[in-house]
């Protein structure tokens, strides 16, 4: 296993990478506090990937089987996914968010910060002290390098994590959403919920091409479940039905207190739960 890499980026950001884990973080506050927070994140980072790799067989099992894991980040993954059972989900659905949460927790353990974020591949743990705010941009298609919305997180918003899932993301999706962004109390919960809501944005259409996950990646935690490979031309009725199905799941998660809000995007159409709109700040 290659050693972790730590790089200083422009804009007072820190880049931590180790295998598939790719993190960008930033902290605001007293300079000594910021240095201490960054040092804590750097110190904690090298143990995350080996710890998760050691428990990977358990982390690929359905949460309904109550996998018994020991690594702190692995435990965060299981805890974040457990409330959504009996819907099929494995702890891997929360891995990026859990890593972001763990690093942010280490930063806040040693320092009092005005603001901070830890972005693990688009799944973001955030901290905002009283009186502050943090703007986060949203993009349905990251490859376009253009924002289609944004939000401003404040100390009283109840938002500690933002995560996005969908068929254009890094992981397989059972649905057809371009992107589903979820706001929740922490990034791991947002990550798991975004995965499940994106799976629910779906339709029964010959325009959708699917394949068993394991035929694309033999190590996938989804096994023989059919994942979306391509989406052709859908009818307006199919698109509307897919979005409404996803919105129904998002609203059920919000009613249960699992998430604060969600935004679902498909072919230029948007549905929101818990948000009046997606304005630019």
Which residues of the chain fall short of a pLDDT of 70? 1, 137-150, 275-281
3-state SS string for the chain: CCCCEEEEECCCEEEEEECCEEEEEEEECCHHHHHHHHHHHHHHHHHHHHHHHHCHHHHCCCHHHCCCCCCHHHHHHHHHHHHHCCCCCCHHHHHHHHHHHHHHHHHHHHCCCCEEEEEECCEEEEEECCCCEEEEEECCCHHHCCCCEEEEEECCCCCCEEEEECCCCCCCCCCCCCEEEEEECCHHHHHHHHHHHHHHCCCCCCCEEEEEHHHHCCCCCCCCCEEEEEECCCCHHHHHHHHHHHHHHHHHHHHCCCCCEEEEEECCEEEEECCCCCCCC
pLDDT of residue 139: 55
Q: What is the pLDDT of residues 241-258, one digit of tens each?
A: 999 999 999 999 999 999
Q: pTM for the complete prediction?
A: 0.91
Please give the CATH number for the structural domain made up of 5-273: 3.10.520.10
Tell me what pLDDT residue 155 has. Answer: 85
């Amino acid at each position: 296993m290659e050693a972790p890499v730590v790089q200083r980026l422009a804009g007072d950001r820190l880049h931590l990478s180790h295998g598939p884990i790719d993190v960008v973080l930033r902290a605001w506050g007293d300079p000594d506090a910021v240095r201490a927070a960054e040092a804590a994140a750097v110190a904690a980072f090298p143990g995350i990937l080996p710890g998760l790799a050691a428990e990977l067989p358990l982390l690929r099992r359905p949460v309904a089987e109550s996998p018994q894991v020991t690594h702190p980040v692995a435990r965060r993954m299981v805890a974040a996914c457990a409330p959504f059972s009996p819907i099929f989900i494995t702890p891997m659905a929360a891995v990026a968010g859990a890593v972001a949460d763990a690093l942010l927790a280490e930063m806040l353990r040693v320092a009092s910060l005005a603001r901070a974020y830890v972005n693990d591949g688009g799944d973001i743990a955030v901290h905002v002290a009283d009186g502050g705010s943090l703007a986060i941009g949203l993009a349905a298609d990251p490859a376009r390098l253009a924002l289609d919305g944004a939000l401003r997180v404040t100390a009283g918003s109840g938002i500690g994590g933002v995560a996005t899932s969908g068929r254009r993301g890094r992981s397989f999706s059972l649905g057809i959403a371009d992107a589903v962004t979820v706001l929740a109390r922490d990034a791991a919960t947002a990550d798991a919920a975004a995965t499940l809501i994106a799976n629910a944005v779906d339709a029964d259409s010959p325009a959708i091409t699917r394949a068993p996950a394991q035929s694309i990646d033999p190590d996938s935690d989804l096994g023989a479940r059919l994942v979306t490979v391509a989406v052709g031309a859908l009818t307006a009725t199919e698109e509307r039905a897919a979005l409404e199905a996803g919105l129904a799941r998002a609203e059920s998660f919000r009613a249960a207190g699992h998430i604060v809000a969600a935004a679902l995007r498909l072919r230029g159409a948007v549905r929101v739960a818990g948000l009046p709109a997606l304005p630019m700040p």
